């Protein structure tokens, strides 16, 4: 079923817009009640380390569980919000409850040396590369 056909457009532009409207409107009840992917992540590599940074406002250290296994980083946690009885929300955009983010790592890491810190609502996970994943120079030998 297609919702919101855009009049006057032809070809791939129209098909793409129709698909996007259909995706948006076809799931509208879920979109009203669910939040975007949480937490938002950045992942990058510098030298011998991978870094993953996650925005976790309102999440306490004791509510986090971070693990590395099988080439994946898993960040689990819970964001809680306590309200007084009789509280009436006029807008509630920040999702509460449990969350899990699993990030497939692009290279093998040394799980024994992974470190994580939480500061000002930002989690930083440092993932040292496994020795096998580090580049090494190969000596070229001359054949006589």
Count of CB atoms situated within 10 Å of the CB of 38: 19
Name the DSSP class of 114. -
What's the rounded Cα separation, in Å, for the pair 144 and 142?
Answer: 6
Considering the entire predicted model, what is its pTM?
0.67
Confidence band of 91 (pLDDT split at 50, 70, 90): confident
What's the rounded Cα separation, in Å, for the pair 65 and 50?
Answer: 19
Place of tokens 């309200």: 83
Which pLDDT value is given to residue 5? 46
User: Which tens digit of pLDDT belongs to each residue from 95-125?
Assistant: 788 899 999 999 899 999 999 999 999 999 9
Domains of the chain and any CATH numbers: 1-34 (no CATH), 35-133 (2.60.40.790)
Cα separation values, 31 from 13, 25, 45, 80, 97, Å: 24, 9, 33, 21, 17
């Amino acid at each position: 079923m297609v919702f919101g056909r855009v009049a006057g457009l032809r070809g791939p532009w129209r098909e793409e817009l129709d698909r996007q409207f259909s995706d948006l409107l076809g799931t509208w009840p879920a979109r009203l009640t669910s939040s975007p992917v949480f937490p938002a992540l950045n992942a990058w590599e510098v030298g011998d380390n991978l870094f993953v940074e996650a925005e976790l406002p309102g999440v306490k250290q004791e509510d986090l569980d971070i693990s590395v296994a099988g080439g994946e980083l898993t960040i689990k946690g819970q964001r809680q919000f306590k309200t007084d009885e009789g509280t009436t929300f006029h807008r509630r955009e920040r999702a509460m409850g449990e969350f899990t983010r699993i990030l497939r790592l692009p290279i093998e890491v040394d799980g024994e040396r992974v470190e994580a810190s939480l500061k000002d609502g930002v989690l930083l996970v440092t993932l040292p590369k496994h020795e096998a994943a580090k580049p090494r120079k190969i000596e070229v030998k001359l054949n006589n």
